Chains A and B, each alone.
Chain A
């Protein structure tokens, strides 16, 4: 096992541990955790299976194996960023609705209180 393999495996273990901690503490929703766990899993597989990367790049017809890594990961990251934008737009919309509803409710309560006082 080469030095870089040991380093990657160690970092992966730390990463998985950190994700697990976030989930346990309730700071990360499981649906996001799945993506991160999958990513780590892929990294772990390739750090143990050193020949795997060369095999994969031959399969995809990529001349230089590291290029496959960069291309694949940039693509995955872009998709995931888009997904996050969708999620944030959704929560933006929800916050809008909630704030508006809250303002209307507060007004309604104020009116009801004033009527009570008047009666």
Chain B
């Protein structure tokens, strides 16, 4: 278990979105909460389950991190410390604010650049790593994410949602590693489909009343 700043207590929830590997078995060996989805919901629905759990149990803070080894758990201390100091609603662990660690492929970086630009237009905020799935949410963030988290490729789109709700969003540099197993939900980042899909969903969240 991680050592957190003293006034925090931690509970780990693993969402098993119909994994075909031993996720469930492995998770049940540890003292963690396992949220077992009977039907494969995809990334949006799975992550939202975690927020629903956090909301139901009245957590002050929820941290979302990928289970494939990309987000070293010890890095979340950086997010929590940042939150403790600033009380920012959403803290994003960013690959791009520091040197070192794993940086992804060229195509993916181009895509991230595009979303940085789009986010800036739609939210007025400069968020560099808008596809990062390493994020901390406070109570306000949890409430919104539990209510209406986007379905497919939710990371960039949810930023529009949060900023429309008037939440503060900040980035903190973290070091990420290469995923140990599995595939990104964004396969072939260059694929035009992803960009179009996310652009549309961001635009509609932007237009939609919250």
**Chain A interface helix/strand/loop/mixed:** helix
In this complex, the interface size class of chain B, counting residues with CB under 8 Å from chain A, is 10 to 19
| A23 interface residue (CB < 8 Å to B) | no
- Given the known interface contacts A99-B45, A100-B52, the answer about A107 and B37 at a Cβ–Cβ threshold of 8 Å is no
| A96 interface residue (CB < 8 Å to B) | yes
Contact with A along B22-55 (1 / 0, CB 8 A): 0000000000011111110100010011001100
Contact A107 B38 (CB under 8 A): no
List the B residue with the shortest CB-CB distance to A111. B33
* Cβ of A116 to closest chain B Cβ, rounded Å: 17
Chain B residues within 8 Å of A103, by CB: 15, 35-38, 49
In this complex, how many residues of chain A approach chain B with their Cβ under 8 Å: the count is: 10
- Total contacts A to B, CB within 8 angstroms? 38
Within 8 A of B (CB), among A87-119: 95-96, 99-104, 106-107
Contact A104 B36 (CB under 8 A): no
* Cβ of A86 to closest chain B Cβ, rounded Å: 15
Give Cα distance in the complex from A11 to B53, angstroms: 55
List the B residue with the shortest CB-CB distance to A95. B39
Contact B38 A99 (CB under 8 A): yes
- Given the known interface contacts A104-B49, A104-B53, the answer about A99 and B33 at a Cβ–Cβ threshold of 8 Å is no
Chain A residues within 8 Å of B21, by CB: none
Q: List 26 A-B contacts (CB under 8 A).
A: A95-B39, A95-B41, A96-B41, A96-B45, A96-B48, A96-B151, A99-B37, A99-B39, A99-B41, A99-B45, A100-B45, A100-B48, A100-B49, A102-B38, A103-B35, A103-B36, A103-B37, A103-B38, A104-B35, A104-B49, A104-B52, A104-B53, A107-B34, A107-B35, A107-B36, A107-B53
- B interface list, Cβ under 8 A from A: 15, 33-39, 41, 45, 48-49, 52-53, 56, 151
Closest 8 CB pairs of A and B: A103-B35, A100-B49, A96-B45, A99-B39, A99-B37, A103-B37, A103-B36, A100-B52
